[in-house]
Structure 1
């Protein structure tokens, strides 16, 4: 009996060590992602020709499948300049970019040898569009992300959408061929481009077992040891991907990323002029930073490869702001609860600097509550101006911290969002108790 107990205890220790090693390995792999805060999503495909919804327009019967695929004839990419794209993305302050290598329509943007449907073989573009972009991202020290749709509504062996186009009975041989096709394309992308991140989509139509998701995730890491996978691979991803809707509370997953359009469309749609203002985009980014996540902001290039002027303008103003406030963005961690500061905030990686985001013109001093630490200094980020502060309601007999009032002169305010840095005497220590009553004076 004693031997059995010792054996079981040894097994528990081995398991704990294994789990800790796995956790350390993930933390190491995810560090650049957690520090990045901002990425640029790019939805580019034949759907930009007519300016219609990518893939969904034929799935939802807004247009016939055949008419949708006729857009291949108008996809020229004649003004595509990968160097200019990468330079603009770097200027925006983004640290990574994710390109749609293949959406649900099955049209590949690279020269795939696993199938015949690609812009290389079937459109006037007639060239690999992924390779030059990956090369230019690397030149600009940007991490490379590749979007890939697991489902393929054009593939003859994929059951769901194909059944609406051409009825047939699904069988295991067809499904096995389709899974092999997915593995084949993902091996191409992995070995040719060695992406830092795979952004999967479309996993909802099948189970993890059907996708062979466990084996796929293992193969992807065999082909590229440190690759990061998003959540849309039926439980085998590294981080969560809320879409369009900004989380109100911090997601449970430590690593997460909000993907969001600039207007109401992922791909280029000439009729969609409902663009968010730079101020709105920056404030959404600030909300993501406050909750410890990233923003993956989308652009949709035209069929000739040019980026719409409205999108360029947003990226440039975003870049001005991120460049000015870099210390309060990159490498920071989630901020303090709103009970302590009526606005979004962030903390330096070691927790001794609080960054207070001010998205408005203050009508009086800013207020900090429940900060146990001594405050050493305050300044305006990107400006350097030192700020004055005053402490009220700090009683000598009470452990409850006083209320800190911070004066912010109007002349130091940023046109979009101002950032105030508060240097503490150590890692932030918050008072979370219920208050104290005088017992002796």
Structure 2
């Protein structure tokens, strides 16, 4: 049901050598594909929300090795940039892995309570440890640990009984403990050189055969980090999945455009609508696997904001939990998931089986999803004025209802200067997100020009600009090891370069303009109402995209304007503009 709308700006460049290497490893060149029939991928395409689980031997360490804490994603703890644990030393951890608190039924119930429609779990991550009973390699949870239980059997059974889909994550290229796997030992147990073909034929291919034949119906096989893996190997794996699980999807990170859908970069929630079938993968805190120190949990409201942003951009949101070494999901993560899930169960029509927003971007107060001739306005920031402004809707409104649990009440609305204005009560009916259901006279048609909201103002990201004498590119970096941040700024400025946006103003007057940017030293920025007022100001630069005020701008009448931003002086070659914000002066 996803509406195929405009994708991200074409031709963006990835910022930084490290980010380029990560893109290659992730296999992000994947074409945006759709499932070939209605059955394969239906749950993915209609459910829109799933649980990811990162759990393995690394969870036992919890980012602490020999008394030292390593900050970053725990499943990479073996990496030289983290603790650099040798393969044989790491394999000995299995003898201490006894996750007696693991409860498959409880985890599946948590996913159901959260409103998630399927679960994908790490059957084998880069460390090579199989979290199931594999006959292809004895480095697995049954043969190598005192626990002697196959949790994948229990999870797959519990998912089927609960009516949830089930799938596996499988690291098909990287294997750090098996000879021949990428970044793995270069010699086998006999001291002979090992090749990737050795790893693939002895371990990888047999394990994918096991996973697709021994655990019942599979919704999805989530391959990851293909890197330099040859196409012939990926094709064999895809063929196995097709043969054994014809209704299962293959993730885009399989590589070589052989997946069924696109996976965006880790923790990336797009601002534009994205074409085709795609997912965003995110985590409930900063790490994927359990890290003892990481208590930076997403609140229920933040989970809903990111979920609805993904659905509103036309995609699916898969949100990760990292059980501890004993197998339990952290309480605070579970609490946030359940509270967000209560809202989802109250308003399922907002999330499931819906189409992307015809505005193709978020609105200042929240976001929009669509089902047929109905719009669902998810209002995160309730207007204190009692008026909610909806710009650019061309299709006439038949009715509007403010939803509150199972109840609804009519909402009065009027049109002024091409904007719909809804009259709302002074207080939001919902603590997290309030919903207005709008029934239209036909399919929604909109003018997606950014509307300058009289209550909230507006923030417009640089990636939406038309640029001249500058470039839009991808700037990605890690805050901590593996914790990725992505910005699509305007940079590579030349003298006279401009970034220009069109906005629609419904209330004339003065607004405060501020810019979010990064750079070096002091930079002078100019902001223009094209054909009108010019302001400029010098502010210190930030290395991490800080917001700086520039000054007041005046829009003398209602109507459409073009706003232009230029970097005028200073180290303009370092300047990277993330966004412009216009704020009303009330």
Which bin holds the TM-score, normalised by the shorter protein?
0.7 to 0.9
Cα distance in 2, alignment partners of residues 306 and 320 from structure 1: 21
Query: Which runs of 5 or more structure 2 residues have no equivalent in the other structure?
Result: 1-32, 64-72, 450-501, 505-558, 560-586
Conserved? CA contact 1:333–1:346, under 8 Å:
no
1:325 aligns with 2:347: yes
Aligned length: 403
Worse overlay, 290-299 or 200-209: 200-209
Cα distance in 2, alignment partners of residues 340 and 241 from structure 1: 21
Conserved? CA contact 1:368–1:404, under 8 Å:
yes
Conserved? CA contact 1:339–1:369, under 8 Å:
no
- For each residue in 1:192-215, what CA deviation from the matched residue of structure 2 results, as whole angstroms up to 9, or x when unmatched? 113110111121242323xx1123
1:49 aligns with 2:49: no
SS class of match (1:354) = strand
How far is 1:251 from its partner? 2.8
Alignment map for 1:301-320 (pairs within 5 Å): 301-320=323-342
1:337 aligns with 2:356: no
Structure 2 counterpart of 1:413: 429
Cα distance in 2, alignment partners of residues 60 and 105 from structure 1: 13
Structure 1 counterpart of 2:162: 140
More strand by share: 2
Conserved? CA contact 2:34–2:260, under 8 Å:
no
- Distance change (3 Å), C-alpha of 1:251 and 1:162: farther
TM-score (norm 1): 0.84
Given the alignment, which residue of 248, 252, 268 partners 2:271?
Answer: 248
Cα distance in 1, alignment partners of residues 137 and 35 from structure 2: 39
Structure 2 counterpart of 1:59: 79
Given the alignment, which residue of 298, 301, 315 partners 1:293?
Answer: 315
Structure 2 counterpart of 1:214: 235
SS class of match (1:162) = coil
Structure 2 counterpart of 1:157: 180
- For each residue in 1:70-126, what CA deviation from the matched residue of structure 2 results, as whole angstroms up to 9, or x when unmatched? 332321121211111111110100001111111111111111111111011111221
Alignment map for 1:364-375 (pairs within 5 Å): 364=385, 365-375=387-397
- Distance change (3 Å), C-alpha of 1:112 and 1:166: closer
- Distance change (3 Å), C-alpha of 1:164 and 1:113: closer
Moved over 6 A (4+): 164-169, 432-435
Structure 2 counterpart of 1:276: 298
Cα distance in 1, alignment partners of residues 117 and 326 from structure 2: 25
- For each residue in 1:282-304, what CA deviation from the matched residue of structure 2 results, as whole angstroms up to 9, or x when unmatched? 11111111101111111111122
- For each residue in 1:47-66, what CA deviation from the matched residue of structure 2 results, as whole angstroms up to 9, or x when unmatched? 11110244422222514224
Conserved? CA contact 2:124–2:130, under 8 Å:
yes
Structure 2 counterpart of 1:94: 116
How far is 1:374 from its partner? 2.4
How far is 1:216 from its partner? 2.0
Alignment map for 1:160-239 (pairs within 5 Å): 160-163=183-186, 175-193=197-215, 194-209=217-232, 212-234=233-255, 235-239=257-261
- Distance change (3 Å), C-alpha of 1:393 and 1:319: closer
SS class of match (1:69) = helix
Cα distance in 2, alignment partners of residues 137 and 105 from structure 1: 26
Conserved? CA contact 1:45–1:109, under 8 Å:
yes
How far is 1:236 from its partner? 0.7
How far is 1:233 from its partner? 0.9
Given the alignment, which residue of 357, 381, 386 partners 1:360?
Answer: 381
1:83 aligns with 2:94: no
Cα distance in 1, alignment partners of residues 317 and 180 from structure 2: 35
Cα distance in 1, alignment partners of residues 349 and 254 from structure 2: 34
Cα distance in 1, alignment partners of residues 246 and 183 from structure 2: 33
Q: CA RMSD in A?
A: 2.7
- Distance change (3 Å), C-alpha of 1:169 and 1:353: farther
SS class of match (1:200) = strand
Query: Which runs of 5 or more structure 1 residues have no equivalent in the other structure?
Result: 1-21, 395-401
How far is 1:256 from its partner? 1.2
- Distance change (3 Å), C-alpha of 1:179 and 1:343: farther
Structure 1 counterpart of 2:537: none
Alignment map for 1:385-396 (pairs within 5 Å): 385-393=408-416
- Distance change (3 Å), C-alpha of 1:326 and 1:158: same
Worse overlay, 273-282 or 84-93: 273-282
